[in-house]
Structure 1
């Protein structure tokens, strides 16, 4: 038996089990590493990190797009016992600068032209000989002279591995920063190990599975990547998402499993109407960020079959709050479509409560804040003790999500506390407005936002993306809502866009929408 269960030990034991089986393939180049090659290259990089002075507790930031290098350096940081600080390409320069100054990584491994100036500024401000900025070649990036250009070591030095302790911080993952300042979420070795085991128990994968990842592996896709590599799965990594290439890859490589956000699924469903496809190999589609509409789910069933699996989580909870299983999707679709609006039932290692403003548990189908207790939960926010005390109370994490639980134990998210609109003294849940608008046959997606108004405090505004080939007017959407919802929830104005701005993890960026439309609302009567 393992004396100390850590994320490091589970990953390394997983890599050693599958030898010549293919581990990771990069698309479209088809460059492939077997598990033996993946382990050997990981050990070379770990030796390289040791030469730079890294070890247990060292902060090592990576800013690498989806690639074999992104996988390898992620594994090497864990093998070294260091703390991974993953940075996404789509983060703004302000966010990247803030994270670097707060986390103070000793080493930054990068392959992004967009952020070279910001990282150079961090290096110059630090004025330290101990900080290394490593630029990866073959990514088309022009690096400043002050950066070091990475070269593969010819041989590894004798590895003196530091076994990570369960309480060590394995990953310092920053929230997207779409509202206020990014927060560093600290995940321990033990917590990430618990999340890995929870996923393995509830969502079994084995060495016959082929997983296709096209979202950034520094976010949710990374959890599926690490979970796959402990089970001998063959993982295919796309540089970025393209609906047509995604569909073609499923057929060519007989993909069985993937992860996506609903906006990606909708694009794939629309693309299948324009091309021949074969997705018969698929067994699992994990999706998160928001529930899927019954209308689009019907299309997904027609294309893929009943293989949908929803997961609800957040950075602080390592994506293990609740899951809506394949069988629950299938049953709900045929017997009770209301359940499709839920995010399933609490995960095996997770306790969930819903409480009112006084901390009392609410009754069945009553609204309350969702609070969570799990061994996979974060240890706290980096250098933010006051925020940590506010978020974690008596061992429970306060999610900031408003939800309800039905008589069968299904959990429903009604809205984020911060997305709730108070218009004329009435509480308007933006997700409820979106559910009504999305039922209109011309609507592909919608986003409800509250914007300042001199009379109502906030006014209900809806931004709509129409389905391809459909047209619709503002008056038609408003009239449709009047027939289906309370008067105070009817949008005062409707805007149309071709697509939505997205956060780095693929969610609709409501902050950007609010900034865009706030002034226009002031004249609405």
Structure 2
């Protein structure tokens, strides 16, 4: 079978369904069918074409979880353009950086807190070059510089631009050890392969009801597209609330969902307080961060043998490795250590573990995880240096240190990259350190991840104050809250008189982390 574009795969799939409900917004109880979804997407795409959106153009979409989020993201893809998905939970500084790096020609937005950042970008680049579309229905008073777009239910373009296999389908931003987000480019060929691989790994049909409560531009986004490709009824929550989540599962007879480990912990606590009928659930997919095997065992006893774990990265979509429902059942019955793994390689994925010289390590020995898959990114936008470092001879070098056990399960034991995963979100220590070092009382600091029962890892800051200065934890926390996203704000602050250094004079973060991870089998939680 010849490769097909993401655009062709997705919209051919959507055309198979008409009367079935496609999307429901939980908070508003609004539901649209697949026929209406296609009509709205075509109407929005027609207006985007009139604004100059076509193949090769970059369109940033900054909309909270909603039906509109799905419609406008699909509309950009309908035009064959490049989607730049932006998380509405990002801070203003992160949004400003991404806009200046990606240089989108069109921005579609529906968030109040980012208006100043977007307007500043538009004024900097020029209104003739950048069009900002304000989506109605979110109670936002947009500046006069923004274009108001209302989806009109009338005949749209007869023909939309067709993307080619090598065109960039999505430019998705992730972070790294430098603290600045990197634009990950996925071609139409690769993202189409990702959607196909996801369909194989996660079999759904048009009778499934799938609930999403995490940001749908995050890891959930690929699974959402995969759900629509099979005609599922997709339910979208604007934000996660455990009681509301359980009530929806019970009343709507939800069959599948995607969560992160911290949400599983909240659901366990909610299920202990009140009895819910969750017997309709057949799949609880989880990922984005490691999970406590003890808490997962507890969840298994409440929800049954319906858990599937996925290990993926933005650079490889979500199809690197997975722990199946059968794997979970085996672990529950025979070996709980299996629950600490991220499973075995997915169908279309090859995994190698390599040493610092790029050579395969010996069996059962740890090494950096290198991945080869048709879904792999084509590189980092405007960063040929990072691209050359991470993508070599068809392999993507993840920066995660993994180890296969005797049964072939892949365990992540440490991160080569200096990154913290807290509650499913990537936290970049260098960025936290950059902010804290701006405080007039701080001489130097180091940011590390420490174990946390709910978040997996908590952001911990070790700070050295300037001589003669005094400062409280609350003061530093408030300082950070005003300057970055909430999930990057330190949960724990420790004041020291000095920081340990390596032989070459760098802050020794391994030494800082060691007391918190004593006795742990791995250096992630």
Which bracket does the TM-score occupy, shorter chain normalised?
0.7 to 0.9
Question: How far apart in 2 are the matches of 1:278 and 1:41?
Answer: 35
**Aligned residue for 2:320?**
321
Cα gap change, 1:112 to 1:178, in 2 (>3 Å): farther
Matched, 1:64 2:71: no
2:457 pairs with one of 428, 447, 456: 447
Match of 1:32 in 2: 31
2:291 maps to what in 1? 292
In 2, Cα distance between equivalents of 1:451 and 1:93: 22
Distance 1:172 1:36 in 2: 28
Contact 1:452 1:521 in 2 (8 A): no
Deviations 1:112-134 (A, max 9, x none): 01100000000100124142111
**Partner residue, 1:224:** 223
Give me the whole-angstrom Cα distance separating, in 2, the residues matched to 1:198 and 1:360.
Answer: 28
State how 1:103-114 maps to structure 2 within 5 Å.
103-114=102-113
Query: How big is each residue's C-alpha offset from its partner over 1:411-432, in whole Å with a ceiling of 9 and x where there is no partner?
Result: 00012113499xxxxxxxx99x
Q: Distance in 2 between matches of 1:351 and 1:230?
A: 25
Shift of 1:292: 2.5
Q: What's the CA shift for 1:140?
A: 1.8
**Matching residue of 2:243:** 244
Q: Report the equivalent of 1:339.
A: 338
Aligned counterpart, 2:187: 188
What does 1:128-143 align with in structure 2 at a 5 Å threshold? 128-143=127-142
Indicate the larger mover: 272-281 or 239-248: 272-281
Structure 1 residue 276, shift from structure 2 partner: 2.3
Cross-structure match for 1:427 = none
**Deviation (angstroms), 1:449:** 6.9
1:264 equivalenced with 2:240 (yes/no): no
1:384 aligns with 2:361: no
1:342-395: CA deviation from partner (whole Å, max 9, x where unpaired): 000011111100011122211222111111111100000001001100111111
Inter-partner Cα distance in structure 2 for 1:381 and 1:250: 39
Q: Secondary structure at the match of 2:240?
A: coil
Question: Does the aligned pair in 2 maintain the 1:134–1:148 contact within 8 Å?
Answer: yes
Report what 1:278 is aligned to. Answer: 277
Equivalent in the alignment of 2:148: 149
Cα distance per residue 1:90-138 (max 9 Å; x no partner): 1111111111112111111100011000000001001241421111122
Provide the C-alpha distance between the structure 2 equivalents of 1:420 and 1:225, rounded to a whole number of angstroms: 27
Counterpart in the other structure of 2:493: 517
* Structure 2 CA distance for aligned equivalents of residues 98 and 521 of structure 1: 34
Whether the aligned pair in 2 keeps the contact of 1:59 and 1:104 (CA below 8 Å) is: yes
Cα distance in 1 for partners of 2:497, 2:326 equals 44
Q: Cα RMSD between the aligned structures?
A: 2.6
Counterpart Cα distance in 2 of 1:334 and 1:368: 29
* Length, aligned pairs only: 457
Q: Is the 8 A contact 2:14 2:228 kept in 1?
A: yes
Q: Partners of 2:95 and 2:335 in 1: how far apart? A: 45
Partner SS for 2:11:
helix
Q: Whole-Å Cα distance in 1 between the matches of residues 455 and 115 of structure 2?
A: 35
Query: Counterpart of 2:519?
Result: none
Alpha-carbon offset, residue 201 of structure 1 = 1.1
CA drift at 1:239? 1.0
Aligned to 2:353: 354
1:116-168 C-alpha deviation (Å, 9 max, x unpaired): 00000001001241421111122122211211222223523433222111111
TM-score, normalisation: structure 1? 0.82
The offset of 1:451, in angstroms, is 6.3
SS in 1 for 2:396: strand
Alignment of 1:75 with 2:74, yes or no, is: yes
Q: Secondary structure at the match of 1:519?
A: strand
Distance in 2, matches of 1:446 and 1:11, equals 34
- Indicate the larger mover: 122-131 or 396-405: 122-131
Q: Is the 8 A contact 1:451 1:521 kept in 2?
A: no
Aligned match of 1:463: none
- Corresponding residue number in structure 2 for 1:301: 300
| Unpaired runs of at least 5, structure 2 | 421-447, 465-476, 500-511, 516-525
Separation of aligned partners in 1, 2:211 and 2:415: 30
Alignment of 1:330 with 2:307, yes or no, is no
Separation in 1 of the partners of 2:353 and 2:142? 50
Question: Structure 2 vs 1, CA of residues 518 and 383 (structure 1 numbering), >3 Å: closer, same or farther?
Answer: farther
Question: Residue 206 in 1 paired to residue 241 in 2?
Answer: no
Once residues 94 and 344 of structure 2 are traced to their aligned partners in structure 1, the CA distance between those partners, rounded to angstroms, is: 34
After TM superposition, the score normalised by the length of structure 2 is: 0.82
Distance 1:191 1:216, change over 3 A: same
Displacement of 1:448 in angstroms is 6.7
Q: 1:154 to 1:38 in 2, by over 3 A?
A: closer
Secondary structure class of the residue paired with 2:315: helix
Q: Structure 2 CA distance, aligned partners of 1:4 and 1:323? A: 24
Q: Which residue of the partner structure matches residue 461 of structure 1?
A: none
How far apart in 2 are the matches of 1:444 and 1:166? 42
Moved more, 123-132 or 249-258: 123-132
What is the deviation of 1:237?
A: 0.6
Residues 66-75 or 173-182, more deviating:
173-182
Native 8 Å contact 2:463 2:496 kept in 1: no
CA contact (8 A) 2:268 2:299 kept: yes
